[in-house]
């Protein structure tokens, strides 16, 4: 397939060769090849060779971000609190809302081949900063959650060596 976020194809069965991180459209969902393979006659037979879609806790089919970030990606937690300051240095702090401690992840995907970096950029581009997706952050926060990505950068370092940096914000819905 192409190394272009604007060029995707429908999935084709029965002997089509796919390379890792190829992008296909099947039944209104984008899928990303997890490995090099040759397709069989039915997509359901090859499903374990594709990623990018998962079912959440509510049995809703959602896009799923499948790539592993590089090390040294900050995982920020900034709980929302209400603070009332009283005299003599006394203060009271309360949680502000039900989901007051959502993560903000500054993820880097360093030194990736163009095919993988293009697949990452495609995934983020299609969501357009508005559609939430499933993602499991690195430890110690390794629990699947819903995130949005409102901004990202694609950096062509040199031939076939690219980086993507993205800010993932955890959302409640």
Residue 111: left if φ>0, alpha if ψ -120 to 50, beta else—which one? left
Integer CA distances (angstroms), 126 to 47, 68, 114, 121, 170, in order: 21, 19, 18, 9, 18
* % of the chain surpassing 90 pLDDT: 66
- Domain residue ranges in the chain: 52-77+99-170
Residue 1 has a pLDDT of: 55
* pLDDT (mean) for 3-9: 83
Residue-averaged pLDDT of the chain = 91
User: In this structure, are residues 137 and 156 in contact, taking their beta carbons and an 8 Å threshold?
Assistant: no
- What is the number of residues in the chain? 173
Question: What predicted TM-score, i.e. pTM, was given to this entire model?
Answer: 0.88
- 54 versus 75: the higher-pLDDT residue is 54
Q: Is the backbone peptide bond immediately before 154 cis, with ω within 30 degrees of 0? A: no
What confidence category does residue 58 fall into, taking pLDDT thresholds of 50, 70 and 90? confident
Integer CA distances (angstroms), 19 to 16, 23, 36, 156, in order: 10, 9, 4, 21
Residue 157 has a pLDDT of: 94
């Amino acid at each position: 397939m192409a190394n272009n976020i604007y060029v995707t194809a429908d999935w084709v069965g029965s002997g089509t060769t796919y390379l890792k991180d190829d992008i296909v459209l099947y039944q209104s969902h984008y899928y990303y090849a997890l490995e090099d393979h040759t397709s069989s006659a039915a997509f359901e037979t090859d499903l374990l060779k594709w990623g990018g879609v998962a079912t959440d806790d509510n049995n809703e089919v959602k896009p799923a971000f499948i790539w592993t970030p590089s090390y040294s990606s900050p995982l920020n937690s900034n709980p929302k609190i209400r603070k009332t300051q009283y005299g003599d240095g006394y203060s009271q702090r309360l949680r502000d809302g039900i989901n007051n401690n959502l993560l903000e992840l500054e993820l880097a995907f360093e030194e990736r081949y163009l095919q993988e970096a293009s697949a990452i950029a495609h995934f983020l581009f299609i969501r357009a900063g508005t559609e939430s997706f499933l993602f499991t952050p690195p430890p110690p926060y390794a629990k699947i959650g819903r995130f949005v990505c409102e901004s990202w950068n694609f950096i062509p370092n040199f031939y076939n060596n690219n980086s993507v940096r993205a800010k993932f914000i955890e959302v409640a819905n």
